[in-house]
Chains A and B, each alone.
Chain A
Amino acid sequence: MLLRPASDRIKANPIGLGAISANADRCLTLLIDGAALNMPELDTESYREFRANVSKLSLQTPDRLPEEEKMALIRNVLREFEKYRGGFESELRERAAGWRTLVVSMFRELLANLSMNPSSPVVHPLTQQIARMVTAEEIEGLRGMLEEFLHPGGDGGRNSRLSPLKTADRTTANDNAAGLRGGGAAVEHLARVMEQGRHGFVVLFQLGCLDMICERFGIEAVQDCLMAVSAYLTHTLRRDDAIFHWSDSTLLAIVLDRPTEQILTAELERIASQNRDITINVGGRVVMLRIPLGFELIPIERLTSASDINRLSGHRVVKW
């Protein structure tokens, strides 16, 4: 059912410009055949029918046909072409609409998996754009918008997804290496905070060098580190701040009631710089590691719904 390039068919067929005879009637026959050949094939059935009809008409153009009969015949040929083109275009429109519907439903499925609200102001325009797109430029534009929406960090995130350590945790259980509740619980907690109208920030803590630790000492060492960092953060943040396991290398905190972003940044910089003396046990030997701890802040006010934090993949922290 694919469109076959007309040039291939021309190469396969011996008819060509060089074959046009000096005889005008013969030339007309060849012209009709040639034009039919150059019509694109959308599906084999209708194309075959069209070719058969045109071929039948072209055979009715014998030499020395009276002029008025010749014109009637040409009109019939044109009608056949018009009929085929009409069917072709309506089929094409139908198929494009079918694809758009499919893409929209798949996109909605993806949003549901990410626990995102399809009617949120960020998502809704994308769905509308998918339903509207017609031209190649629009399709390309949408592709860029989707890429930016789903991977706001850009290509770096795509590469880092190859790491075995980046599995996102959207559960509400606390059965992970950090001993913290998962990202699902973070969304629930944030929803409650937003309902109460409280001010605060979502903070993503990104642990560095975990790939290297995994390579050197195995996944158990990574889990030890995650546990140590989560214990450290729990100890250093305030009691009413909540920390969650966001991915194998990222912890997410929801911190409340800080006067300004600048003050919180200073507090977090201090916490990150004092994240020392993380020890792991390697074959009975206590090894001290210094794990770089990066962070990014997102003011809760900038989120339209709690599920928006699902866009923070934890692969690459987003700047807002």
Chain B
Amino acid sequence: MSEILKCISQKPGCGRHKANCAAIEDLPVAYMELDAEGVVIYANPAAQRMHDPALGELIGQKVWNLLPEAERESSRLAFEALMRLGGEPPVIRRSVYTTVGEYRTYEVHRNLMRDSEGKPSGVRTVSFDVTEAAWANEEAHQARLWLESVLESVSDAVIVMDALGFVRYLNPAAEALSGWTFAELKGMVIEKGLPLLSYYSADSSELSFRIAIDRPSNGVAVLLDRNRNELKAEISTSPIVDKEKGYTIGVVSVLRPAKDCTC
């Protein structure tokens, strides 16, 4: 039986101060105790509220039965290993079906309970609902992956610079065209990496980073690639404007090898 339950029910044997047990009962986050077999032996009211009664009584359940099918076996094996080997259990994330009718993600902080010989006799857990944070993190990761994949799939060379002209990104087509790898060119001032020898545009305008950050431009440029060979390319540059604040935050250039021209 859980020490907390013993304590609350005034039975002798509780090693804790009664006030501590009462505080655990009042915790706004879920607190549970599991025995060495992974059976829930105590759940405070917050944990009880999390649990859907349709899944049966929480006390007495094997904890991995509360998890989605895909996570059960790996969770059980990890728990058994923890009981066998001891050691400080790491923070984990688990999906649990809750009373709101959906699986939510919990960050579970644990420590071991030990018997009089110091052997692991169970686990105490405190769980925090991190569903929204996990979801936002995953969304951001996926959005970033998506945009990177899009840029990497563009057949034209794309080079992105920050507002000071330091290279922040180039796609594989730009690597192939310039001879630079992303790792090499990242953080380099664009004029150093790809010096501009000459530029021609239909409206006879010039091209410099200062101009590129100010307005879009299209033309044909002669640049020097990584091996300092001349590279003739059609080039389009445009300021990158932050959608929310309207600030200019950099410049994007798109290059493709020029067809024969008289520039």
What residues make up the interface of A, taking CB atoms closer than 8 Å to B? 209, 212-213, 216-217, 277, 279, 282-283, 285-290
Contact = CB atoms under 8 A, between A and B. Distances in A.
Interface of B: 162-165, 189, 209-210, 213-214, 239, 242, 245-249
A285 B213 contact: yes
Nearest to A291: B164
A221 to B, nearest CB: 10
A286 B242 CA distance: 10
Given A212-B164, A277-B247, 20 more contacts: A212-B165, A212-B189, A213-B164, A216-B164, A216-B165, A277-B245, A282-B213, A283-B214, A285-B214, A285-B239, A286-B246, A287-B213, A287-B247, A287-B248, A287-B249, A288-B163, A288-B242, A288-B248, A288-B249, A290-B162
Contacts of A209: 164
The 9 A-B pairs of least Cβ separation, nearest first, read A288-B247, A287-B248, A287-B163, A288-B249, A286-B247, A212-B164, A289-B163, A285-B248, A279-B247
A217 B247 contact: no
A287 B214 CA distance: 9
A217 B214 CA distance: 11
A282 B189 CA distance: 19
Nearest to A285: B248
Contacts of A286: 246-248
A243 to B, nearest CB: 25
A56 to B, nearest CB: 74
A216 B209 CA distance: 8
A213 B165 CA distance: 10
B7 to A, nearest CB: 38
A288 B189 CA distance: 17
Contact of B164 (A277, A283, A285, A289): A289
A282 B209 contact: no
Contacts of A216: 164-165, 209-210
Nearest to B241: A285
Contacts of B163: 287-289
A209 B242 CA distance: 21
A288 B242 CA distance: 9
A216 B213 CA distance: 10
Contacts of A212: 164-165, 189
Nearest to B248: A287
A217 B246 CA distance: 19
A212 B210 CA distance: 12
A98 to B, nearest CB: 52
Nearest to A288: B247
Most chain-B Cβ atoms within 10 A of its Cβ — which of A285, A286, A288? A288
Most chain-B Cβ atoms within 10 A of its Cβ — which of A209, A283, A285? A285
Contacts of A290: 162
A82 B214 CA distance: 82
A282 B247 CA distance: 11
Nearest to A289: B163
Contacts of B189: 212
Contacts of A277: 245, 247
Contacts of B210: 216-217, 282
A285 B163 CA distance: 12
A286 B209 CA distance: 15
A283 B214 CA distance: 8
B3 to A, nearest CB: 38
A285 B213 CA distance: 9
B169 to A, nearest CB: 15
Contacts of B248: 282, 285-288
A73 B260 CA distance: 98
10 contacts: A213-B164, A217-B210, A282-B210, A285-B214, A285-B248, A287-B213, A287-B248, A288-B248, A288-B249, A289-B163
A285 B245 CA distance: 12
B188 to A, nearest CB: 12
Contacts of A217: 210
Contacts of B165: 212, 216
A211 to B, nearest CB: 10
A94 B128 CA distance: 84
Nearest to A290: B162
A289 B166 CA distance: 11
A286 B239 CA distance: 11
A248 to B, nearest CB: 17
Nearest to A213: B164
A166 to B, nearest CB: 19
A293 to B, nearest CB: 15
A289 B161 CA distance: 12
